[in-house]
């Protein structure tokens, strides 16, 4: 199938070909015609599937075909969970809309609002925003949502995980009820289905997993190790494999900082990206990683969520995530666009229960490997030391603890009991 057969205008086809895309991805093939027909959609798609173009291209087409309004009220709103994702969607909107007379703006927290307010004042057709800053500016009467006719909730599952449900509902109440709604989510938990029921109007279900990033197709390996050997093994893997670009996940911000320091001490260029870093530092780290000046980007789940890092060859789980779905999000960053990818997990004795949960979720056993000289001490028992309880959702807005954090006391360091399974959130 070609982009031409999707019914896109010449200006959009030109922009797409400028990006070097030769054919639409599965999610684009399915979603674009439906959105052009003005249907509401509920789409199951993770980062890496081409979902952004999947909603942006038809949105641009629809808006560009409408009569020009002099005051340019915001007509389309894209809500995202993180600033990074907002910035990326904004970049994509500008690229795909390069040959159209439409204006877009991005607003997110953590930075001074002045330049965002200035761009809103000059009139914006498409606004990309994180919920908090959007409400903040709305409360200051600096923007109006009364002209919205199209709403996109991007990575809706993560927005709920981060406690944005109340904000989302508030934002809904500020928009005209008659509008087109597009909800994108990597998982379909009960909470997402409830949100979809509330927001979407006779939605069409669109499902697409990235063709070459399904977990089965990624070269996954587990190294069982003593925790104290992880840094050395990581450095060895990087240097023996001559890896030039590797994304490493840690569970905590502190862990990310620590590991980054150790890598730098071993002359491996590295930068950390997490929620405590300023927006500027995060943008610079990502840029350095993309242009090759930074070899290792050490990230926490929240910070890395939605980052568009094309053709990433190596992902390392320095620590396994305690939420099995995050494993799939993490490794989904490798092997994009036909490139082969490798996802390696360094697993200490205290993380074996997490590994079991992950293997249950993805429905396969991940092959194990060893590094000579770093064979784990068989005397270290799996349950000898439990990792601390999750910290990732702390610090965000209250009201939506992650499902796997529920039913457990906050200080539970005892043997892990499997979190209640959410079979409906498994990826298909």
Q: Which residue has the tokens 């093994």?
A: 233
Rg (CA), the chain: 22
The reply on whether position 50 binds ligand AMP by CB under 6 A is yes
| C-alpha count within 13 angstroms, C-beta hemisphere, residue 420 | 10
Specify the residue, 155 or 161, whose C-beta has the smaller distance to ligand AMP.
155
- 263's enclosing H/E stretch is helix 253-265
Nearest alpha-carbon partner for 25 in 188, 159, 203, 206:
206
- Three-state SS for 235? helix
The reply on whether position 52 binds ligand AMP by CB under 6 A is yes
Q: How far apart are CA 206 and CA 42, in angstroms?
A: 6
- 74 Cβ partners below 8 Å, 6+ apart? 124, 125, 126, 127, 143, 144, 145, 147, 148
Give me the helix-helix angle, 165-173 and 190-199, nearest 10°.
0
Specify the residue, 60 or 225, whose C-beta has the smaller distance to ligand AMP.
60
Specify the residue, 50 or 163, whose C-beta has the smaller distance to ligand AMP.
50
Q: How far apart are CA 60 and CA 67, in angstroms?
A: 13
Q: How far is the CB of 168 from ligand AMP (least distance, A)?
A: 21
- 235 Cβ partners below 8 Å, 6+ apart? 263, 266, 268
Q: What are the backbone angles phi and psi of residue 66, rounded to the nearest 5°?
A: -90, 155
Beta bridge partners of 273: 299
The reply on whether position 48 binds ligand AMP by CB under 6 A is yes
The reply on whether position 374 binds ligand AMP by CB under 6 A is no
Binding ligand AMP by CB under 6 A: which of 98, 235, 337, 419?
337
- Of 48-56, 263-271, 386-394, 413-421, the segment contacting ligand AMP by CB under 6 A is 48-56
Binding ligand AMP by CB under 6 A: which of 29, 44, 49, 345?
49
Q: How far apart are CA 224 and CA 230, in angstroms?
A: 10
- Of 22-30, 65-73, 76-84, 260-268, the segment contacting ligand AMP by CB under 6 A is 22-30
The reply on whether position 163 binds ligand AMP by CB under 6 A is no
Residues in region 70-89 near ligand AMP by CB under 6 A: none
Q: What share of the chain is helix, strand, coil (3-state, %, to 5)?
A: 40, 15, 45
The reply on whether position 57 binds ligand AMP by CB under 6 A is no
Specify the residue, 80 or 322, whose C-beta has the smaller distance to ligand AMP.
80
Q: How far is the CB of 61 from ligand AMP (least distance, A)?
A: 16
The reply on whether position 25 binds ligand AMP by CB under 6 A is yes
Specify the residue, 205 or 311, whose C-beta has the smaller distance to ligand AMP.
311
Number of shown-chain residues binding ligand AMP (CB under 6 A)? 14
Binding ligand AMP by CB under 6 A: which of 11, 24, 74, 215?
24
The reply on whether position 53 binds ligand AMP by CB under 6 A is yes
Beta bridge partners of 204: 41
Specify the residue, 47 or 104, whose C-beta has the smaller distance to ligand AMP.
47
Q: How far apart are CA 198 and CA 168, in angstroms?
A: 11
The reply on whether position 51 binds ligand AMP by CB under 6 A is yes
The reply on whether position 21 binds ligand AMP by CB under 6 A is yes
Q: How far is the CB of 92 from ligand AMP (least distance, A)?
A: 7
Residues in region 275-314 near ligand AMP by CB under 6 A: 308, 310
Binding site for ligand AMP (CB under 6 A): 21, 24-25, 28, 47-53, 308, 310, 337
């Amino acid at each position: 199938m070609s982009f031409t057969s999707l019914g896109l205008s010449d200006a959009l086809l030109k922009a797409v070909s400028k990006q070097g895309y030769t054919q639409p991805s599965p999610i684009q093939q399915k979603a674009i015609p439906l959105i052009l027909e003005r249907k509401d959609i509920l789409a199951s798609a993770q980062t890496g599937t081409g979902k952004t173009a999947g909603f942006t291209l038809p949105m641009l087409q629809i808006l560009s075909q409408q009569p020009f309004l002099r005051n340019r009220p915001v007509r389309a709103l894209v809500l995202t969970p993180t600033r990074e994702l907002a910035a990326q969607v904004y970049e994509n909107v500008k690229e795909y809309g390069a040959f159209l007379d439409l204006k877009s703006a991005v607003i997110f927290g953590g930075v001074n609002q002045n330049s965002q307010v200035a761009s809103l004042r000059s009139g914006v057709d498409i606004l990309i925003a994180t919920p908090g800053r959007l409400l903040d500016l709305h409360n200051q009467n600096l923007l109006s949502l009364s002209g919205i006719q199209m709403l996109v909730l991007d990575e809706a599952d993560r927005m709920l995980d981060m406690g944005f449900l109340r904000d989302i509902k508030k934002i809904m109440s500020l928009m005209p009820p008659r509008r087109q709604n597009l909800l994108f989510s990597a998982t379909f938990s009960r909470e997402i289905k409830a949100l979809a029921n509330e927001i979407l109007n006779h939605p069409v279900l669109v499902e697409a997993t990235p063709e070459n990033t399904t977990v089965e197709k990624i070269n996954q390996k587990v190294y069982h190790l003593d925790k104290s050997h992880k840094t050395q093994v990581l450095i060895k893997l990087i240097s023996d494999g001559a890896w030039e670009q590797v994304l490493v996940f840690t569970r905590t911000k502190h862990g990310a900082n620590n590991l980054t320091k150790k890598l730098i001490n071993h002359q491996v260029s590295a930068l950390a990206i997490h929620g405590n870093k300023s927006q500027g530092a995060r943008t610079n780290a990502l840029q350095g990683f993309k242009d090759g000046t930074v070899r290792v980007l050490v990230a926490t789940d929240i910070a890395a969520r939605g980052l568009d890092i094309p053709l990433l060859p190596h992902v390392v789980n320095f620590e396994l995530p305690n939420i099995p779905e995050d494993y799939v999000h993490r490794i989904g960053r490798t092997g994009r666009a036909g490139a082969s990818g490798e996802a390696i997990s360094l697993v200490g004795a205290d993380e074996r229960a997490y590994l079991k949960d992950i293997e249950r979720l993805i429905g396969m056993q991940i092959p194990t490997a060893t590094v000579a000289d770093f064979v784990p001490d068989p005397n270290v028992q799996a349950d000898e030391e439990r990792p601390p309880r999750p910290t990732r959702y702390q610090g965000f807005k209250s009201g939506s603890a992650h499902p796997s954090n529920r039913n457990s006391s906050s200080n539970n360091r005892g043997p892990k009991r499997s979190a209640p399974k959410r079979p409906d959130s498994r990826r298909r």
